[in-house]
A and B are shown apart, each in its own frame.
Chain A
Amino acid sequence: EVQLVESGGGLVQPGGSLRLSCAASGFTFSSYSMNWVRQAPGKGLEWVSYISTSRGTTYCADSVKGRFTISRDNAKNSLYLQMNSLRAEDTAIYYCARDEGTKEDKIYYYYMDVWGKGTTVTVSS
């Protein structure tokens, strides 16, 4: 079964750090780019970060740039999100999601086809 399981969430004080993990199983993890997406309480989805298969390319949302770092360990089938200088507005459920691509008429279209159940991060004093 294709599965993503997040862990590492919890309560942290403003200015603190946290490292989220996402364990992948049931597919060849090294062949897929990956994403982190978050959802603040009662709010919509916000894409946070992306990493390519070989870690050669990463992107981050402006809201977390310079504070969050995405990484992966293909040998451990794991995705990570290092979160530093946390703020109250970072409080959210954090989901990891697999990036899939489909070729149509010589063009690749990308989408997030497998999602974990999420891990909750609360930033509060």
Chain B
Amino acid sequence: DIQMTQSPSSLSASVGDRVTITCRASQSISRYLNWYQQKPGKAPKLLIYAASSLQSGVPSRFSGSGSGADFTLTISSLQSEDFATYYCQQSYSAPRTFGQGTKVEI
């Protein structure tokens, strides 16, 4: 199974900050990497697919990059509604493993 490791596990930031979350796969997964946002008590929401493609309706302050085994999610200017937990997930092979999550706090 492919292991996905996110860092950091949590971070504190302020509105307007630039935030970067990294995700590393245990083997090369090309660009089969997706990012999701989850707020407390809510279902996950797709932000980025294929490593860098922005899902329709997602603000442009979110961006993704990377290929192979190393990936990054960047929020260019953190907004109050962005405080949530973020997960990466690989779709290269089954099981489609998730990272452990990164909680972005005020």
Q: Which A residues form the contact surface with B (CB < 8 A)? A: 35, 37, 44-47, 50, 59, 61-62, 95, 97, 100, 102, 104, 107, 109-113, 115-118
**What does DSSP make chain A's interface, helix, strand, loop or mixed?**
strand
Size class of the contact patch on chain B: 20 to 34
A37 to B31, CA, bound (A): 21
Give the number of residue pairs across the A-B interface with Cβ within 8 Å: 67
Query: Is the beta-carbon distance between B101 and A59 smaller than 8 angstroms?
Result: no
Query: Is the beta-carbon distance between A113 and B95 smaller than 8 angstroms?
Result: no
Q: Which B residues form the contact surface with A (CB < 8 A)? A: 1, 30-32, 34, 36, 38, 42-46, 49-50, 53, 55, 85, 87, 89, 91, 94-101
A45 to B43, CA, bound (A): 10
A-B contact pairs, 18 of them (CB 8 A): A44-B99, A44-B100, A45-B36, A45-B38, A45-B89, A50-B94, A50-B96, A62-B1, A102-B49, A102-B50, A107-B30, A109-B31, A110-B91, A112-B44, A112-B46, A113-B49, A115-B44, A118-B43
